[in-house]
Amino acid sequence: MWFYRLGCTADEIGPEGEDKSGCGRDWERATNNSVVTTRSLSINYRRSAMMALALFTLNFLWEMAQARLYSSMKGLPFWSATWLCTRAATADVALLGLCFVVAALVARDAAWPLHLTSKPFATFLALCLLATAAIERWAIATGRWSYSDDMPMIFGVGAFPLLQWVLIPVLSVLAFRLACRTERSDTPADDRVDAWDDAGETHADNVGEAVERDRQRLR
């Protein structure tokens, strides 16, 4: 009888509390996949941590690989250069997260990579590129770092930093989709259905009282 609280009226519920019109079944079928259990929450936290670590690693490796294209990095001791690349990779992950959030606001969907459309994806990619171009130009102008002669240039910005912020945002979207697909396959369907059943039993008494009150008003 718990489907009554999800939109069924007294006329759509039989004498024994059964769902005559199918409204409860339709609603249940449409929402079974979005049940949040304790287990799925733990998977979400683990997934977020693993994605952040993977993106940090990708950015760190890229920063280390392109370090030779910055004249300001030449001659630095290995561990000093590694520390600078670690800081840069951390900032890269933070920037990715910020652009992801803005794209989610545009899409009005926190999991927009799962329902991928051109608008949030274009927003995400454009923000990443614009932010990178602005940071690179500011850093060069203020002397925070400088390019070597080997760095190819695009409109006064290093080509490799721009390429980084095309490839890694795309990889992050693909990684998000893959991680969510893996999470769904790891969560048994029975767990999701049982969660709804438990919620229904918890509210069954209150639902029965509400049904009876409606029947009395209709008499």
pLDDT tens-digit map of 5-57:
444 455 544 555 444 454 444 444 444 444 444 444 444 777 778 888 989 99
- pLDDT beyond 50 at 192: no
Domain identity same for 50 and 67: yes
Whole-model pTM?
0.63
Domain identity same for 181 and 195: no
Tell me the torsion sign for CA atoms 35, 37, 40, 44. Answer: positive
The per-residue pLDDT for 45 is 72
Domain identity same for 113 and 27: no
Q: Give the Å distances, CA to CA, from 101 to 58, 66, 97, 122, 210.
A: 20, 28, 6, 13, 41
Domain identity same for 47 and 135: yes
Pick the range with the lowest mean pLDDT from 106-120, 139-153, 205-219.
205-219
Find out whether 70 and 146 touch, Cβ atoms under 8 Å: yes
Domain identity same for 13 and 30: yes
- pLDDT beyond 60 at 144: yes
Q: Find the domain containing 133 and state its range.
A: 43-186
Average per-residue pLDDT for the chain: 75
Give the tokens for residue 133: 């171009």
Domain identity same for 144 and 181: yes
Domain identity same for 28 and 83: no
- pLDDT beyond 90 at 76: no
Domain count, the chain: 2
Rg (CA), the chain: 26
Interatomic CA distance for residues 84 and 132, integer angstroms: 17
Domain identity same for 30 and 111: no
Distance spanning both ends of the chain, measured CA to CA: 21
Pick the range with the lowest mean pLDDT from 69-83, 152-166, 192-206.
192-206
The per-residue pLDDT for 39 is 44
The per-residue pLDDT for 152 is 92
pLDDT tens, residue by residue, 85-128: 999 999 999 999 999 999 999 999 888 988 888 999 999 999 99
Domain identity same for 63 and 33: no
Domain identity same for 66 and 170: yes
Domain identity same for 121 and 170: yes
The per-residue pLDDT for 51 is 84
Domain identity same for 198 and 151: no
Mean pLDDT of 166-184: 83
